[in-house]
C-alpha cells in the first residue's frame, strides 16, 4: 500500500504525451498545441480604419471634398490631395497616402464635402498593417491551450489546420455478475450497473467524447480474453469493479496474465483504496474500485491528471483551492480522506453521507476536500485544501 503522493507521482511518470496529429482549427477546442505556430500573413493585412468616418491627409485644414468611398472589403489605388477626403468604414482599406481617419461623429457633412468639428491627432483611427501580428511572427507557442479566442485568432490569420496532441482513446471494462442494465427488471441480489455511464460522463467533461464500454462476467477467462483485445486498441483502459480483496476478484490476475505491469495496487486513502494502476507499452490501465463514489473519486484524483498529461496539458491536476473549514474534522484512520464538500468564496463544508457506495452526496458536492493521512484533527476556521469538481 502506498501513499496518495507516491501514487500521483507514479501516474505522472507513466503518462507520456500522445502522438501529434494535424486537425482542423474549428475542431481544436480544448486541445493543446504541439508545435509553435507562425503567422502566414500580417494582421491587419493592410492599413485599416478603426472607425466609420473620413480618411484624410492630416494638415490642420477643416474642410475637405469627398472624392470617393472605401467600404470593408474594398481596395483602391486612390490617392488623396491635401484638401480631399474619402468616406471610410470600420475595417476598410485606408487609401495609400491618407494618414488619419476622422470619426463621423466629429464632422458636419453633405454629399460632397465635410467640415471637421473636432480635429483628431495625426494617425488617429488608423490600424497599421501588422499592428496585431507580423508575417512569420509567433502566433502561439507550443503547449498553448486552444480556447474559443485562440480558434478565432488562428482563423483570422487564415490558418486551417494545427498540430495538436491527440486525445487518448479510452475504453471502460465493466465486470460483475451482480450488474443489470438500467431499464431491465432488477432480480433479487442484483444491482443496476451505473459506473460505465458515470465514467463516460466524467470523461466527457474533459473532452473525451466517445468511450467504448465492454462488459464481462466475473470469470478469469472472460476478463483475460476481453483485456487481450482492449489493450491493443486503447490508450487508457478503465476497469470498473473486481479489484478488492475478495476471493472472486480475479481482475488483477487477468491483468498480470496479459502482461500488464503492476505499478501500484492499493492506496492509503478513503474512499478509493482498492485500485490497481499498471501499464502495457504506452497503454495505461486503471482498475477502479467498484463502489460508485470511490470510482468517481479515483477518476478525479488519478485518471484525470493522466489524461491531461497525455493531452499535453502543463497543469494536469484539478485546480487546488484554499478555504476556511466550517466545522471540526477528525481523521483517526491514518488514511488520506477525500471528502465530498461544498465550497463558496470563503468557506468549505463537508457533506453528510460520505459512504463509498453513495453517489447522491457526490451529485450535490462541488468539491473534494483533502484531509492528509497524517492530519488527525482540523479545526473550524483552519485553512484547508480542496479540489473543485464543478
Closest CA to 237 of 295, 170, 154: 170
Interface residue with a second copy among 202, 255, 275, 337 (CB under 8 A) is: 202
By CB under 8 A, tell whether 386 contacts a second copy.
Answer: no
Closest listed residue to residue 57, CA positions, set 107, 119, 112, 123: 123
Closest contact distance (angstroms) between CB of 160 and a second copy is 4
With contacts defined by CB under 8 A, name the span among 242-250, 306-314, 326-334, 372-380 that binds a second copy. Answer: 242-250
Nearer to a second copy, 231 or 365 (CB): 365
DSSP 26: G
Show contacts with a second copy in window 260-319 (CB under 8 A).
290-293, 296
Q: Are 37 and 28 in contact (CB under 8 A)?
A: no
Verify binding: residue 128, a second copy, rule CB under 8 A: no
Establish if 168 lies at the interface with a second copy (CB under 8 A). no
Q: Which of 199, 227, 288, 387 binds a second copy (CB under 8 A)?
A: 199
Contacting a second copy within 75-114 (CB under 8 A): 75, 87, 89-93, 104
Q: How far is the CB of 71 from a second copy (least distance, A)?
A: 5
40 contact partners, CB below 8 Å, separation of at least 6: 135, 157, 158, 159
The sign of the CA dihedral 305, 285, 259, 165 is negative
Determine the Cα–Cα distance for residues 289 and 244; give it in Å rounded to an integer. Answer: 7
Of the two residues 46 and 264, which places its CB atom closer to a second copy in the complex?
46
Please identify which residue in 18, 101, 179, 230 interacts with a second copy, judged by CB under 8 A.
Answer: 179
If binding is defined by CB under 8 A, does position 156 make contact with a second copy?
Answer: yes
Q: Please pick, from the candidates 197, 220, 232, 383, the single residue that binds a second copy as defined by CB under 8 A.
A: 197
Return the closest-CA partner of residue 234 out of 252, 208, 268: 208
Burial class for 234, CB neighbours closer than 10 Å (0-12, 13-18, 19+): buried
Tell me which stretch binds a second copy (CB under 8 A): 66-74, 230-238, 258-266, 326-334.
66-74
Nearer to a second copy, 106 or 280 (CB): 106
**Residues 345-364 interacting with a second copy (rule: CB under 8 A):** 345, 353, 355, 357-360, 362-363
According to the binding rule CB under 8 A, does residue 35 interact with a second copy?
no
Specify the stretch interacting with a second copy by CB under 8 A; choose among 10-18, 56-64, 178-186, 378-386.
178-186
Instruction: Output the DSSP codes for 288-349.
Output: E-SSHHHHHHHIIIIIHHHHHHHTT-S--SPPPEEEEESS-EE--SSSEEEEEEEE-SSEEE
CB of 281 to a second copy, least distance (A): 29
Q: How far is the CB of 289 from a second copy (least distance, A)?
A: 9
Binding track, positions 15-34, relative to a second copy; x by CB under 8 A: ----------xx--x-----
| Residue 372 within binding range of a second copy, rule CB under 8 A | no
Q: Which is nearer to a second copy, 4 or 179 (CB)?
A: 179
- Residue 355 CB, nearest approach to a second copy (Å): 8
- Between 115 and 363, CB nearer to a second copy: 363
Among 21, 35, 178, 257, binds a second copy (CB under 8 A): 178
DSSP secondary structure of 71-130: -TT--------TTEEEEE-TTPBPPTT--EEEEGGGEEE-SSEEEESSPPPTTTTEEPTT
Q: Does 338 bind a second copy (CB under 8 A)?
A: no
Residue 271 preceded by cis peptide, ω within 30? yes
Q: Which residues, including other chains, have CB under 8 Å from residue 5's CB and lie 6 or more apart?
A: none
CB of 390 to a second copy, least distance (A): 8
104 vs 375, which CB is nearer to a second copy? Answer: 104
d(CA 233, CA 169): 8
Start-to-end CA span in the chain (Å): 30
Buried b (16+ CB within 10 A) or exposed e, 250-263: bbbebbeebebeeb
Q: Is 165 helix (H, G, I), strand (E, B) or coil?
A: strand
Amino acid at each position: 500500500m502506498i501513499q496518495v503522493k507516491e501514487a500521483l507521482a507514479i501516474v505522472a511518470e507513466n503518462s507520456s504525451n500522445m502522438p501529434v496529429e494535424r486537425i482542423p482549427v474549428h475542431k481544436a477546442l480544448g486541445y493543446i498545441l504541439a508545435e509553435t505556430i507562425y503567422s502566414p500573413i500580417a494582421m491587419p493585412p493592410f492599413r485599416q480604419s478603426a472607425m466609420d468616418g473620413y480618411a484624410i491627409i492630416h494638415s490642420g485644414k477643416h474642410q475637405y471634398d469627398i472624392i470617393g468611398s472605401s467600404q470593408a472589403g474594398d481596395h483602391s489605388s486612390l490617392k488623396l490631395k491635401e484638401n480631399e477626403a474619402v468616406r471610410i468604414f470600420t475595417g476598410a482599406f485606408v487609401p495609400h497616402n491618407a494618414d488619419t481617419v476622422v470619426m463621423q461623429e466629429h464632422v458636419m457633412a453633405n454629399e460632397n464635402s465635410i467640415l471637421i468639428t473636432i480635429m483628431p491627432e495625426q494617425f488617429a483611427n488608423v490600424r497599421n498593417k501588422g499592428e496585431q501580428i507580423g508575417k512569420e511572427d509567433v502566433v502561439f507557442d507550443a503547449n498553448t491551450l486552444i480556447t474559443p479566442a485562440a480558434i478565432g485568432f488562428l482563423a483570422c490569420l487564415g490558418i486551417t489546420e494545427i498540430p495538436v496532441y491527440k486525445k487518448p482513446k479510452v475504453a471502460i471494462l465493466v465486470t460483475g455478475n451482480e450488474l443489470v442494465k438500467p431499464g431491465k427488471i432488477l432480480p433479487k441480489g442484483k444491482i443496476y450497473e451505473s459506473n460505465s455511464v458515470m465514467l463516460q460522463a466524467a470523461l466527457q467533461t474533459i473532452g473525451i467524447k466517445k468511450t467504448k464500454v465492454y462488459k464481462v462476467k466475473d470469470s478469469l477467462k472472460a476478463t483475460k480474453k476481453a483485456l487481450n483485445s482492449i489493450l491493443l486498441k486503447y490508450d487508457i483502459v478503465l476497469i470498473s469493479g473486481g479489484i478488492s480483496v475478495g476471493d472472486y476478484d480475479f481482475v488483477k490476475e487477468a491483468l498480470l496474465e496479459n502482461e500488464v505491469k503492476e505499478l501500484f495496487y492499493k492506496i492509503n486513502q478513503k474512499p478509493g483504496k482498492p485500485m490497481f494502476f499498471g501499464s502495457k507499452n504506452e497503454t495505461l490501465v486503471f482498475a477502479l474500485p467498484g463502489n460508485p463514489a470511490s470510482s468517481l473519486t479515483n477518476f478525479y484524483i488519478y485518471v484525470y491528471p493522466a489524461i491531461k498529461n497525455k493531452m499535453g496539458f502543463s497543469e494536469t491536476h484539478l485546480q487546488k483551492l484554499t478555504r476556511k473549514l466550517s466545522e471540526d474534522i477528525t481523521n483517526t484512520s491514518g488514511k488520506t480522506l477525500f471528502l465530498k464538500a461544498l465550497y463558496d468564496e470563503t468557506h468549505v463544508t463537508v457533506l453528510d453521507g460520505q459512504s463509498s457506495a453513495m453517489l447522491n452526496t457526490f451529485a450535490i458536492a462541488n468539491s473534494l476536500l483533502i484531509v492528509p493521512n497524517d492530519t488527525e484533527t482540523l479545526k473550524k476556521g483552519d485553512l484547508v485544501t480542496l479540489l473543485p469538481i464543478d
